[in-house]
Amino acid sequence: MQKLLIIDDEVEICQLLDRFLTRKGFEVDTAYNGKDGLQKHRKNSYDLIITDFRLPDISGLDLLKQAKEIHPGIQVIIITGYSDIRMAVEVIKFGAYDYVTKPLYPEELLHLIEDAVKSEKTERERSQAREAKSEKHSAEDSKSTKAPKAQPRRGDDYLVGKSSKSRNIYKNLEIVSPTNMSVLITGETGTGKEYVAREIHRLSKRSNETFIALDCGALPKDIAGSEFFGHEKGAFTGASTTREGKFKLADGGTLFLDEIGNLTYEIQLKLLRVLQERKFSRIGGSKDFEVDVRIIAATNENLKSLVDEGHFREDLYYRLNEFHIALPPLRSRKEELDLFISKFLDDANAQLEKEIKGLSTDVYEKFEIYSWPGNLRELRNVIKRCVLLSQSDEVEIDTLPEEIVYGGEVSEENSKDSLRGAAHEAERERILEVLAETGNNKSKAARILNIDRKTLYNKLKNYNI
């Protein structure tokens, strides 16, 4: 029988968890402050400690450190409120197994406890792994500062830049990856949100399991439920067979939900249930399926604004936003442009079986001036196009798209006097009119214009509105 120690100054929480976990077959001890908890830890052999982050006499970090000094292999789960998430994540660096946020959901906590007590890794092994990873990354960073040649951390997938901003993002990524926390990745279109999600999965304890990506922005509303949860045969017209949904397919692994803000309210409610209870049922079915899936969500919208407007559930927002990673646009990381150019040039050469050595001086200057509204995705596509069209061993200016050649200036084709320019100007004016009518409520404006929010945001960016 596994033995647990619960430390919390709220007597009701201790009693609730004691009764619940005892019924589940655990032997439970409780303490109401850090001093008593550590004293019991010295006298007994526990498989796991569950402690509140804020105790009356000691911080969660200090308790963790002292608990590890007494028994280095002890697993510790931190209980915390949302306001303490940043500090709670910090304790993971010092060996906490994971943390869970209030309000507590017993079944969710039980799942986390079972994972923790089954873990065969000792704290010493985990520390050695972190140190080895840190040394490897330090060596790679050192190389990347000596030459502009790209130094990807994982084959041709994830590239870590050389700026302090990029390194800080990767540091946070390394911290959160080993946990089971839900991660919300924000950033403009093309900033590499899915690459970050895949890197989190690669560095996680689920790296040998499935990673599934689902674009919620491209998901028709009438089949969204089936895509997420699957359906039973005969559940609706056309459902000729039973189908597994993405949650079932990703069981044990990671489910990446891109453009999460486009989900309907009904799907948001069902997604919240899965996150809270780790259970779901297929469309047209009544049987519950238990599932262990880590959620990583991404958006180029302001989810908090959607919450304030009533289009996104606040409780789901906080469930998804346990840890936030914000990706900067390419125009704010021009000092890393050479690294990304080198990386994408290598990729394009390999894909197109060419040997382009670099960019001409004129082309590089155009790249530095251009604002890159499509960010890294646009840069990658432009370089691939240039490599395809290049007739020499250098990318020349005649292979560039018009918008980059003119550096934001209006060409004759797109001037107001041209047919295309006039259409663009009319569209811009109509968008401004609807925004004025709706008090700048973008969700209402999108509905009036008969487009989705994602399309509207892209048009606002293109027209500098």
- Is 143 inside any structural domain? no
**Same-domain pairing of 107 and 21:** yes
Q: Which of 23, 96, 20, 12 is nearest to 53 (CA)?
A: 96
**Same-domain pairing of 191 and 304:** yes
pLDDT interval class at 377 (50, 70, 90): confident
Phi and psi angles of residue 207, each rounded to the nearest 5 degrees, phi first: -60, -25
Question: What total of structural domains would you count in the chain?
Answer: 4
Q: Provide the 8-state DSSP code for 56.
A: S
The pLDDT of residue 129 is 45
Pairing, β 183-186 against β 323-326 = parallel
**Same-domain pairing of 272 and 209:** yes
- What is the CATH number for 438? 1.10.10
Using CB atoms within 10 A of its CB, is residue 301 exposed (0-12), middle (13-18) or buried (19+)?
A: buried
Beta carbons within 8 Å of 93's beta carbon, 6+ residues apart: 175
- What is the CATH number for 205? 3.40.50.300
**Same-domain pairing of 439 and 344:** no
Using CB atoms within 10 A of its CB, is residue 220 exposed (0-12), middle (13-18) or buried (19+)?
A: exposed
pLDDT tens per residue, range 124-166: 444 444 344 444 444 444 433 332 333 334 434 677 777 778 8
Beta carbons within 8 Å of 230's beta carbon, 6+ residues apart: 242, 243, 244, 245, 247, 248, 282, 283
Beta-bridged to residue 279, according to DSSP, are 290
What is the reported pTM? 0.59
- Is 427 inside any structural domain? yes
**Same-domain pairing of 375 and 317:** no
- Is 133 inside any structural domain? no
The encoded tokens of residue 128 equal: 């050695």
**Same-domain pairing of 116 and 69:** yes
The pLDDT of residue 410 is 43
- Is 154 inside any structural domain? no
**Same-domain pairing of 453 and 320:** no
Residue 230: is its pLDDT beyond 60?
A: yes
pLDDT tens per residue, range 258-270: 999 988 888 899 8
Handedness of CA 121, 127, 132, 136 (dihedral sign): positive
Which of 269, 301, 326 delimits the end of a domain? 326
Q: Is 78 helix (H, G, I), strand (E, B) or coil?
A: strand
**Same-domain pairing of 190 and 294:** yes
Out of 232-236, 369-373, 385-389, 452-456, least confident range: 452-456
Domain that holds residue 455: 419-462
**Same-domain pairing of 336 and 291:** no
Neighbour-count burial for 349-378, b at 16+ CB within 10 Å, e otherwise? beeeeeebeebeeebeebbeebebbbbbeb
- What is the CATH number for 356? 1.10.8.60
The pLDDT of residue 461 is 67
- Is 155 inside any structural domain? no
Q: Which of 198, 104, 112, 100 is nearest to 154 (CA)?
A: 198
pLDDT tens per residue, range 157-196: 677 777 778 888 988 999 999 999 999 999 998 899 999 9
**Same-domain pairing of 212 and 321:** yes
Pairing, β 211-215 against β 254-258 = parallel
The pLDDT of residue 345 is 93
The encoded tokens of residue 357 equal: 């050595």
Which of 381, 405, 429 delimits the end of a domain? 405
Task: Give the side-chain half-sphere CA count within 13 A for 359.
Answer: 26
- Is 434 inside any structural domain? yes
Q: Cβ atoms within 10 A of the Cβ of 204, count?
A: 20
Which of 289, 306, 326 delimits the end of a domain? 326
In angstroms, what CA-CA distances link 326 with 167, 195, 365, 458?
13, 13, 28, 18
- What is the CATH number for 114? 3.40.50.2300
**Same-domain pairing of 197 and 99:** no
**Same-domain pairing of 392 and 445:** no
- Is 183 inside any structural domain? yes
Average pLDDT, rounded, for the chain? 81
The pLDDT of residue 38 is 95
- Is 135 inside any structural domain? no
What is the widest separation between alpha-carbon atoms in the chain? 85
Q: Provide the 8-state DSSP code for 83.
A: G
